[in-house]
Amino acid sequence: MWQQTIGARVEFEGVGVHGGQPVHMALLPAAEDTGIVFHRVDASGFRHEIAVSTWSAPAVDLATIVAAPSGVHVSTIEHIMAALYAMDVDNVVIEIDSDEVPIVDGCASAFVEGLAAVGTIAQAAKRQYIRVLKPVRVETASGFAEYRPYAGTRFEVEIDFSSRAVGRQAFAFDLSPKTFRKELSRARTFGFLADVEQLWAAGRALGSCLENSVVIGHDQTVINPEGLRYPDEFVRHKALDAVGDQALAGARVLGCYHSYRGGHKMNALALRALLSDSSAYELTERPARRAGGARHALPAAAAAPVFGPFTL
């Protein structure tokens, strides 16, 4: 029930998946009620503060972005946000010298291991929760997303692709640090070679490669030499993204989130629909009992490692 921050500074290095430029990012402990705040450090050393919330994040498809009123932004934050949310970290300052979070190997495992290395510290303020009181649903021509009341934090994610390499897959779970670390954190972002080639031609996705993405070739097979990390890695990555996008709520959500053919944009629209309806949720300091028993604590460590550098 108590807010938590990290036990020490922890650093990550890599490249941005879209710009392909080097990135240095550091997570710092923060005081109670700080939330997650990015400090975008520009070339002059000036820090642009960007508070993370669903209202500071435009609803777009390819990545999750947060922006300050000035227009300064940081993109591709979904994997670090998922790690923080799943591993029960409430308050942290994220220093970053680029407008993209490092893609590392395309998932959240490096961030989870970095957080585990420095551990967490319980703080004096109680954690606030968003309890879902009634169903809230958004729909598109091809899919939907909804929140439903549930005694815990649950995700039910379904995808449906015409590609035979992906097809229709579903993955459901109650969120806990143990489940996220074991079942989701290593699931990588994925895409189709034809789409990546178009993005490269347009000067985008310059940091994308087989070391940080699962790529489906023109023959509709996975071209990564090592294959998949999970048989259903595609839907697990979509679930990982959904966890990161829900973290923009600013408090833990007690409810079930179900999406069919969703993505970053639909995740954002569903969360906004929930928070825009004051009759659909309540704020509470008393969480529902989590299925599966006790909460899993992160181990403490004396030193904060640097993860990287990432090599294309």
233-282 pLDDT, tens per residue?
A: 999 999 999 999 999 999 999 999 999 999 999 999 999 999 999 999 99
- Whether 25 and 151 map to the same domain: the answer is no
ω into residue 177 within 30 of 0, thus cis? no
200-226 mean pLDDT: 92
| Domain co-membership, 135 together with 109 | no
Supply the residues annotated as catalytic.
Answer: 264
Instruction: Answer yes or no: is 308 within a domain.
Output: no
**109 & 190 share domain:** no
Q: Taking the model in full, what pTM does it have?
A: 0.90
Confidence of residue 184 (pLDDT cuts 50, 70, 90): very high
- The pLDDT of residue 201: 85
pLDDT above 80 for 181: yes
Mean pLDDT (the chain) is 90
Please report, in range form, the residues annotated as the binding site: 79, 237, 241
Q: What was the pLDDT predicted at 1? A: 86
Q: Which residues are annotated as a binding site for Zn(2+)?
A: 79, 237, 241
Instruction: Give the separation between CA 99 and CA 103, rounded to whole angstroms.
Output: 12
Residue 79 belongs to what domain range?
Answer: 2-127
Residues 91, 188: one domain? no
| Any domain includes 49 | yes
| Phi, psi dihedral angles at 201 (to 5 degrees) | -65, -30
CB 61 within 8 A of CB 263: yes
Residue 292 lies in a domain: no
- Rounded to whole angstroms, the Cα distance separating 38 from 66 reads 9
Asked whether the predicted pLDDT for residue 215 surpasses 70, the reply is yes
Distances (CA, A) of 37 to 9, 81, 137, 278: 15, 11, 29, 25
**67, 92, 127: which is the final residue of a domain?**
127
Instruction: Count structural domains, the chain.
Output: 2
Given a contact cutoff of 8 angstroms between Cβ atoms, the answer to whether 257 and 242 are in contact is: yes
> Within this chain, do residues 122 and 174 fall inside the same structural domain, yes or no?
no
pLDDT given for residue 303 in this prediction: 34
The residue-averaged pLDDT of 56-61 equals: 83
Is the separation of the CB atoms in 154 and 175 below 8 Å? Answer: yes
Identify whether residues 82 and 143 lie together within a single domain: no
Least confident of 35-39, 50-54, 201-205, 279-283: 201-205
pLDDT of residue 204: 80
Q: Please tell me the distance from the alpha carbon of residue 134 to that of residue 147, in angstroms, as a whole number.
A: 8
Indicate if the pLDDT at residue 293 is higher than 60. Answer: no
Strand 129-132 versus strand 252-260 pairing type: parallel
Tell whether 176 and 272 lie within a shared domain: yes
